[in-house]
Every structure is written in C-alpha cells, then in structure tokens.
Amino acid sequence: MKIFGYSPNRKNLSLLFIISFLVRIIVFLFFIRPGEYYKQPDSNDYHHAAMSISFGRGMHRLDNNRPMFWRTPGYPLYLSWFYRFFGIKKFAFSENSPAQIASIVVQIILSSLIPILVFFLALLLTKSLAIAWITAWIIALHLGFILVSCYLLTEALGMIFIIPFFICFYKIFDLATNWKKNIIFAAIFLGLHTWIRPMGQFLSVASVIIILLFDSVNWKIRIKKALLFLFIFFSIIAPWFIRNYNLTGKIFFCPMFGLYLNTFNAPKIIRETKGLPLKKAIDYQYGLANKKAIREYKLARAAGKQLATELVHLKVAMPVILQHPFLFLRDWMKEVAKSTFDLYSSQLVAIAKKTNHYDPIEEFLTEKLTECLYKQKMSFLMRAVVYIELIFAILLWMGLLAGALLFLLYPLIKKYNVSKIIKQHSLLWLRIAPMISAFVVMTGGFGYARLRLPAEPLMIILSLTFWLWISSYFAYNQAKQKR
C-alpha cells in the first residue's frame, strides 16, 4: 500500500488529471466520434433546446414555439454557447457536429477533474490516503465515467457539481468545521446540479433525512441544518419554478415524472391486467393522455396559459398505478435492480448493435448481461473491457455485501462489544448508504447503469473500507503469529 500513501501534491494530482484526460480524449477521438456514438437517446432533445436558446427564444420547441418543460435548461445552455460560436447553418443534429465535438472536448477536460475531486471526497470520508488514491484511479479508468464524458448528455457536466456537493455535505458532520458555510455550499452545488439533472430534488430530500437521522449533534441544530439546506437549495432552483408557474399556473420544476410513469410503468400494468402487448398498452395510455391533453389545452388557452402535457400524462398514469400498487412496486424494483447491477459495458453492446440512438421499450437484466458476456458480437478489445468490468463489479459487490454485514448488521447484533474502528465505519456507512439508495431508487421506470453513476464513487469508497479493513485484519494476525 506504500504506493498509495503519497501526499496529494501538485505532481501526483497533475498525473491523475493527465491520465484521465488522455484516456477520455483517445476514446472519444478514435472510438466515439467516428461513429457519432456521442448521439444518445436523449441527445436530440438537448440539441433542439440548445438551438432554441441560441436563437434567443429560450427553452421553446422550434416547430410550434411552445415552451419546453420536459428538459431543464442547464445542459442546453452549456451546449448553446458552442452553437453560437460555430453558428447554426442547418437544424439537423449531424449538421452541427463541429459545435457538438467542441462542447464534448471541453466536457472531457472538465470530466478529467472528477478523479481529483473524488480523491478529496474519499480522503474526507475515510481519512485514508490508500482508499483516496485507489478510488481516484478507479474513477480515472472507470468505463462509465469515460463513456459519459464523451456523450452529448447531462451526466458528465452534472458530476462536476455533484462531487463538490458530496464534499461540502459530508463536511457538515465534522464538528471541527463551520457547518453553516458547508451547508450553504452543499445546497448551492446541489442546486446547480439540479438545473442540469432534475433528480437533485429527490437528493435534497435524502440529504435532509441523513442530516436528521445520522448527525451527531442535538436535534435543534439538526433541524436548523435541514431548514437552512432546504432554503438555500430551493432559492437556487426557484427561478425555474417561477417560470413554469407563470407559463402554466402550476407549481413544478420538471414534470418528467409524469411522462416517465406513463411510458414505462402504467403500460406494464395495463399489459398484465388487460392482456395487451406492451406496445399497444403504451399506445393506449398515450391515447388517453392525448384526449385529455386536447381538453386541457383548450382550457389553458382560455385562461391565457400554456399546457405542460407531461402533467396530463401523470394524471392518466396515477389511477392505474394506485389501482395496482403491488404490480407497480414489483416492476419498479425490477428496474431499480437493473440500474443497480447492470454493467456499463451494456453501452458497448448498444454501440455494437448500432442501437445507441434510441432505447428499446423494455430491457431485462439477464439478457443485457448475457449480451455483454457472449451473445452480442463485438471486437476482442470491447469483450476484454466487458470482462475487466465484470471482475471489478464482482469485487465491488463482494466488498459492499461483506461490508454491510460487518459494519451495519454486526454492530446491531453485538451492540456494545464492537471495536472503535467498526463503530466509525458503521456511522460512515449509515450516512452514505441512504445517498446511494436515493440515486438508484428513483430509476424504477427504466433502469440502466448510467443512472447510478453519481453514486458510483460512494459505492467504491464503501467497498474499499471493507477491503482495507480485511487486509489490515489479516496483516495484524500474521504479525501477531510471528511474535
């Protein structure tokens, strides 16, 4: 472990950045860019939103000039800077590749800082240089982080804010630090992340729960922390609430949940209860939503307001879900399992199959894994990457499962007869596990590995706490036997 005991000086951190950048830029220039694989299922939405912003029309659809509600403006705004610089000659996605490529190169430079940020996060949480360096180098060479840095998607840019959020948030549990300052910065970083990826709203709830349940200060201070966090966070994202309210008369930040439920969850319930094929079940739900939207659109126009059709989809989906809550929960947890255990190599399968531009209406974890491991034809190098990731995933989950038993279950059984180091790790796990859960639990509509990516550094850190503990335990026993 001596190699991982080096201090985080400028030379060591610069090397980490340079390797991270070189790996990402090589993958982009020689693999992702030639096949335009940076265009993913959601990329077209960001392209159109960025063009609208570039034309000075804000977040509006170019075809009918109606406001966009489904996407938040953070990433389109970023992309629009490059569109303005290079100029928009045609509307088609591929016709704007110079601007897109430039935006991704800058995105790669920013993403290459993430391993450095993760280093300081891991050091803060564990006080272990070994865990910090191992985690940072894993992130530098991690397939999921490499790929998303090369896509025209929100994840890479969102990570630039989510890791500083983690750092500031977990600093508030350190009694030696100024918790007010850390709360304020944590809320600001999460707010900025939410402008890019709206799931930050759910993370704010998880954050408050962690503060209230697992802080070591008295309840009065916990409540103060929670209220200050929520106040700053919602102040940051309030302008988009105000924009949406002024346009529609409804209070919401991003209504994606409605379309999400009516596309992925309610149709599966209809399939099971009415015996329809999934495609017809989706068409059935959309048909109901479209009829309802026509009626509500007329009412909205009469009131001088716009209609967020995603909210109409929510109204159509919810009665189906509430009528069959157990079917909904079963399907939701299946998709959560897919997000939790899927391999990032599944994205390589999509590239090999030439299906990276769209999502299928349904996927199954077992099929995805078998395609990664042997079913789907791919190059030797891609297959090698799959098996490297598989080995990593096995070690990661061995550490997570064994660590949960040792640091969470064991203290409950033994109660008072627990060592100091296990108690420390136990508190760390209690504070981090809910944050990880918050990321994966919200993915029950359509799960895949990319959605758990922001939680991946936390998962690696927790897994390494077990592996470091077990290696220290055996080293101690060996030294004891020699004496």
- 243-282 residue pLDDT tens: 999 999 999 999 998 999 999 999 999 999 999 999 999 9
pLDDT of residue 480: 67
Tell me what pLDDT residue 377 has: 94
List, for the chain, all residue ranges whose pLDDT scores fall below the cut of 70.
1-5, 415-416, 418, 476-477, 479-483
Query: How high is the pLDDT of residue 80?
Result: 96
Residue 67, beta-bridge partner list: 60
d(CA 315, CA 354): 35
What distance, in Å, lies between the first and last C-alpha atoms of the chain?
22
Give the pLDDT score at 373: 95
Q: Output the CA torsion sign for 47, 50, 56, 60.
A: positive
pLDDT attached to residue 326 = 96
pLDDT value, residue 274 = 93
Neighbours of 466 (CB within 10 A): 21
Q: How much is the pLDDT for 177? A: 84
pLDDT of residue 113: 97
Q: Are 431 and 453 in contact (CB under 8 A)?
A: no
Mind giving me the DSSP string for 311-356? Answer: HHHHHHHHHHHHHSHHHHHHHHHHHHHHHHH--TTHHHHHHHHT-T
Token duo for residue 22: 């070189």
**Measured distance CA(338)–CA(82) in Å, rounded:** 35
Instruction: For the chain, state the CA radius of gyration.
Output: 24
Give the model's pLDDT for residue 413: 80
User: Which has the closest alpha carbon to 137: 23, 27, 48?
Assistant: 23
Largest Cα–Cα separation, the chain? 87
Q: What is the pLDDT of residue 248?
A: 95
| Amino acid 283: pLDDT | 96
The tokens for 371 are 């395609």
Please report which helix (H) or strand (E) contains residue 206, including its range: helix 200-214
8 Å CB contact between 256 and 309: no
Within 13 Å and on the Cβ side, how many CA atoms surround 84? 13
Q: Which residue has the tokens 């697992």?
A: 214
Phi, psi of 67 (to 5 degrees): -65, 145
The answer to whether residues 316 and 285 touch, using CB atoms and an 8 Å cutoff, is: yes
Instruction: Please answer whether residues 341 and 365 qualify as being in contact, where contact means their C-beta atoms are separated by less than 8 angstroms.
Output: yes
pTM over 0.85: yes
Q: Which two tokens stand for residue 261?
A: 């439920």
Closest CA to 268 of 279, 257, 255: 279
Q: Which amino acid is at 69?
A: F
Residue 419 near residue 478, CB atoms below 8 Å: no
